[in-house]
Chains A and B, each alone.
Chain A
Amino acid sequence: MIHLTIDHQPVCVEEGTTILEAARKANISIPTLCYHEDQQVKAVCRICVVEVEGMAQLPTACSTPAAEGMVVHTASPKVLKARKNILSLIFARHPQNCLACQKSGQCELQKVAQDVGIYKPATFDLELRATPDDNSSPSVRRNHQKCILCMRCVDVCEKIQGLHVMDKENRGFHSIVTTPYGKKLVDTNCVNCGQCIQACPTGALTIQDDRENIYHEMEKGKVLVVQVAPSVRVNLAEALGEAPGTVSTGRLVTALKRLGFRYVFDSDFSADLTIMEEGTELLRRLKGEGPLPMITSCCPAWVKYCETYAPDYTKHLSTAKSPQQMFGALIKTCFAEKEKVDPESICSVSIMPCTAKKFECKRPELADSGYQDVDYALTVQELARLIQTAGICFADLPDTPFDDPFGLGSGAGLIFGATGGVMEAALRTVHTVVTGRPMEKLEYLPVRGFEGIKSAEVDLDGTVVKVAVAHGLKNAKLLLDEIKAGKSEYHFIEIMACPGGCIGGGGNAPRTWKKVEARKKAIYEAEKELPVRQSHENPAIKWIYDNYLGEPNSHLAHKLLHTTYRNRQDLLR
């Protein structure tokens, strides 16, 4: 153990701890910008400088290890002067019309500037980058002027997702974080996962905002039908300032009703539907109809990744659509017929933890209802802003149940939100279908947790099914490489692009592993309390097969609930 003094307080930490971590342990907050607790230390923004007695210069707290007997001052006049200088230099290259920025109020740079306080007039002339904005992507907006070169987006894209879409161009004053050869984001290998938005401390990378479009549809008098993804109920309250992992299912429905959404449905229902379709497909493939392993297709970022990097292996993807798109197809067909609403007048909206869903709902082939199945995918962040704009006091809202007929989801549908959830949900149903009895314990722990790749063997009365679960595209690549080499021993693989699954998705409040852990805990706790915990036992599922679809993988189910994939290899050429 190392003993040091920070701001006159004795602190005792383990060897290898940095000054920053030691200070946080002693409840002393040092401002940071390039530091991210899930990432490698970069020490490029210099804002965390501190004074260490006996050192001539001011070291950065994030990269300097604490040493025995060290005496640290985190807010001495010398330190504060240095921080103000550093901030002035950053602001000499950063636009100062904060009110017109989507990140305003959530911006880390704004927060640091307020804390440090730069109230004197600017010391340096403002010199902004001339590079134009990039709004080409359906999911991510780039504004180069607001970039402070912290490299957090590059870190997550390269090290977690293994994509490396952006990196630094040029050097020194001319440095800029961008795509190679001035490409638009839409022309690159970007899969729209939005993890870079999660990492960005400023407004340089933001979500492609669809809020105005929703208002526009309201003005046109469209019937707004909304579906809410499983993980949204554990993420929305956090985006509105409550503790991570706060479950707000009932309040969420009330808020959507007050915002003017006529019908509020639960994507847990279509997640159950996905299990029925995908589970049936798996059983057919296990009997020899189609290639193994079968890989889940719920995650649009993963699907685009597979289409780009392994177009010859998209036959391994389940043909079942993602829950969002299944629901979209049903809303404009089954629901429209039942409620006698003209599908033309329906505006189908989804609330998602995901930026890639915006890309998915714009795929031209996903229009099996005769119209674009889902018109807009809103992220949790956008919904949180809609609620704030409407002046709804979210904390005090009463609970409202989801609307019939698609408001009932099982626990299996709910756990889709966490990595391993689709696998667990599928195993529950497949086990019952094959053996005729439910699993002894519904919680299937080997596929839970945040290990990069989890694998397990399930015995279905003699038939052994080998399964694997991966999250983060770098892990997905390992499984994909096995398949390419013909060495994959698995039958069924679940892949989610975002680390942690949808609860760690790009459309949520900014993530850290600690927060994602709290969200995961919340989703599994909420699942335990649900009356129905297996997809095939969901009465709404029984109803839709009895009254509309026939049986899983029927002709109509194939038309509405299954899709095809394309080759996007040219994005790499």
Chain B
Amino acid sequence: MSQEQYSYKTPESLLVEVADIAAPYRDRPEMLMKVITRVQKIVPAFSEEVARVIAREMDITLTQVYSFVTFYAMLSVKPRGKYIIRMCKSAPCHVRGAREVVKAVEDQLGISMGETTPDGRFTLEYCPCLGLCDSSPALMINDRAYGNLNPQSARDLIKRYIREDVE
């Protein structure tokens, strides 16, 4: 990735909160997952500033935090939309028509896989198996799962999110 893709700022006040979360785990690198999951709840993305604060407070390297964050599909170094649509990428979903569902959602939102809509509301990405093979093809929007999709039902689902017709 080129460096320009990371050119966004995280507010100072958030960085202070991040430091408070990470500081108790100094010299305990095995607690990185715990710190990361807690930090994820308050920051839009693991920007370089956020990663540096975690690295500094836990006394580990920046590279370690970065490598860790990029490994997991649920974590991101780039800001993502309000709604993150995670399309299951495993074989059962694929044979049951995931590709058509993806195409329908991409067309509806006007973005491709891995992109975010310009208004910052939707991010579309693949993720490893959701474990919903019995109701494949499946996807998740934030922390809700939806199964047994076809192009039409997927479009209807996204429409509800566009209208904010979800509780």
Instruction: List A residues at the B interface (Cβ < 8 Å).
Output: 131-132, 158, 163-171, 179-184, 573
Contact = CB atoms under 8 A, between A and B. Distances in A.
B49 to A, nearest CB: 9
A164 B63 contact: yes
A132 B4 CA distance: 14
Contact of B62 (A131, A169, A171, A180): A180
Given A164-B61, A573-B52, A181 B3 contact: yes
A296 to B, nearest CB: 26
A136 to B, nearest CB: 11
Interface of B: 1-3, 5-6, 48, 51-52, 61-67, 70-71, 77
A183 B64 contact: no
Nearest to A164: B61
Contacts, number: 46
Given A164-B64, A573-B52, A182 B6 contact: yes
A170 B63 contact: no
A182 B63 contact: no
Identify the 8 closest CB pairs spanning chains A and B, nearest first: A180-B66, A164-B61, A167-B67, A182-B1, A182-B3, A167-B63, A164-B63, A169-B70
B54 to A, nearest CB: 12
B77 A167 contact: no
A374 to B, nearest CB: 31
Given A181-B3, A182-B3, A170 B71 contact: yes
A168 B16 CA distance: 28
B63 A166 contact: yes
Given A168-B71, A184-B3, 8 more contacts: A131-B1, A167-B64, A168-B67, A171-B70, A179-B63, A181-B3, A181-B6, A181-B66
Contacts of A183: 3
A573 B53 CA distance: 10
Contacts of B2: 132, 182
A164 B48 CA distance: 16
Contacts of B65: 180
A169 B64 contact: no
Given A170-B71, A171-B71, A180 B63 contact: yes
B165 to A, nearest CB: 35
Contacts of B71: 168, 170-171
Contacts of B66: 167, 169, 180-181
Given A164-B64, A167-B64, A169-B66, A180 B48 contact: yes
A46 B52 CA distance: 35
Nearest to B56: A572
Contacts of B1: 131, 169, 181-182
Given A168-B71, A170-B70, A181 B77 contact: yes
Nearest to B2: A182
A165 B63 contact: yes
Nearest to B49: A573
A181 B3 CA distance: 6
A131 B3 CA distance: 12
A573 B3 CA distance: 15
A180 B51 contact: yes
A183 B63 CA distance: 11
Nearest to B47: A181
A168 B63 CA distance: 9
B84 to A, nearest CB: 17
A168 B77 CA distance: 14
A182 B70 contact: no
Contacts of B51: 180-181
A179 B6 CA distance: 13
